[in-house]
Amino acid sequence: MRTIPVQNNAHRDRPISYSASSDKVIKDGSMTGTTARPQAPWALRLLPPFPAIAHRIMALASKENVSSREVGALIKLDPTFSAELLRFANCALFGARREVTSLTQAVAMLGMDRVKSMATFVAIHNMVRSSVRATALRKVWVHSVVTAVIAEETARIVRMDREVTYTAGLLHNLGILGLMSAYPDEYSRMLEVSNDFGFDLLQTERDLFEIDHCAAGAYLAQDWDFPDELAATIATHHDEPVAHERSLDNLIKVSWRLSDTLGYAAFSPAKDWAFEELMAYLPGAPDSWLGRSAETAKTELKSRLAASPL
């Protein structure tokens, strides 16, 4: 059983682990990790593994002194993946300023860190491609993308790693993306019922799938060998943000709520947050397109999404 340290309001500095026998997330400070990998929760067993090519790209791009040509050559080994990566490299979502015509050029222009986050983006996009045909599920994917864009900007504001924060924003609802990919019809109906009747989303997920999307996302992040910090951020993103805390998980707690407040909610939130209330967690934001006003932020997000092949 693998454990990861998490920080949240209710269970500060307590690890999250998975019980192989119960398929449930456990918050228990007394548990210790072993090398055994737990059995997947039944609701996640239909999901394919994280693409090997994406893992290889991320690993190579993380090495010191690796060249753009080397990374480009690796990406070319998977024609479908390379076509998708080049397509997104040319969209406004990733801040493209001029046309990119080759993978080597894309890697050189974007930088290794951005290539890693784009490899993750393409892999997840391919996973959810078929399920986002349903309106309710497409909202989840758009919400995740908008949260990633907002998270990247919040990281710039507070001077944290932008690519790590972008990826965490994109994957904060990894559990939902996984559940909706495995059970698109069932999850879509569950979202509609939850919204119509005001049910608690996490509890409804547990009732139907025996796991909520926070625990499901943390499990997938661990199973796909993502960093423990990312798994912990996913596990706790529904906790309320903390004033004056400069951390990855706190930025994501603020960012997905900003996404909701700016009109990109995937489901009815448990609490309605005011834009100004959330921006108070980001000192220095007035110098950013995000901090000038809610309308300015909406305009920026709309323009990026309009030019993006989602």
**Percent of the chain residues topping a pLDDT of 90:** 45
Q: For residue 151, count CB atoms less than 10 angstroms from its CB and return exposed for 0-12, middle for 13-18, buried for 19 or more.
A: buried
Which fold is adopted by the domain 3-306? Hypothetical protein af1432 (1.10.3210)
Contact of 14 with 236, CB cutoff 8 Å = no
Residue 25: its pLDDT value, please? 44
Q: Both tokens of residue 299?
A: 């305009």
Residue 255 phi, psi (nearest 5): -65, -45
Give the mean model confidence (pLDDT) for residues 169-186. 92
Q: How many CA atoms lie within 13 A of 116 on its CB side?
A: 17
What are 56-108's pLDDT values in tens digits?
A: 999 999 898 899 889 989 989 988 888 887 887 777 666 656 677 888 888 88
Whole-angstrom distance, CA of residue 63 vs CA of residue 239: 34
pLDDT of residue 244: 86
**The pLDDT of residue 291 is above 70:** yes
Q: What percent of the chain has pLDDT over 70?
A: 84
pLDDT at 198 over 80: yes
Amino acid at 272: D
Residue 255: the pLDDT is 98
Strand positions, DSSP E, the chain: 3-6, 14-18, 25-27
Q: Residue 242 — very low, low, confident or very high, per pLDDT cuts 50/70/90? A: very high
Question: What is the CB-side half-sphere exposure of residue 188 using CA atoms within 13 A?
Answer: 16
Q: Is pLDDT of 206 > 80?
A: yes
CB 175 within 8 A of CB 193: no
Angle at 211 (CA atoms; ends 208, 212), nearest 5 degrees: 95
pLDDT digits (tens, 9 = 90+) for 211-221: 999 999 999 99
Confidence of residue 131 (pLDDT cuts 50, 70, 90): confident
- The pTM for the full model equals 0.81
Q: What is the mean pLDDT of residues 191-198?
A: 88
Tokens of 29: 């400070």
Q: Is the pLDDT of residue 138 over 90?
A: no
Mean pLDDT of 23-41: 48
pLDDT score, position 96: 58
What integer best gives the mean pLDDT of the chain?
Answer: 83
Torsion over CA: 231, 304, 195, 190 (sign): negative
Q: Is the pLDDT of residue 23 over 70?
A: no
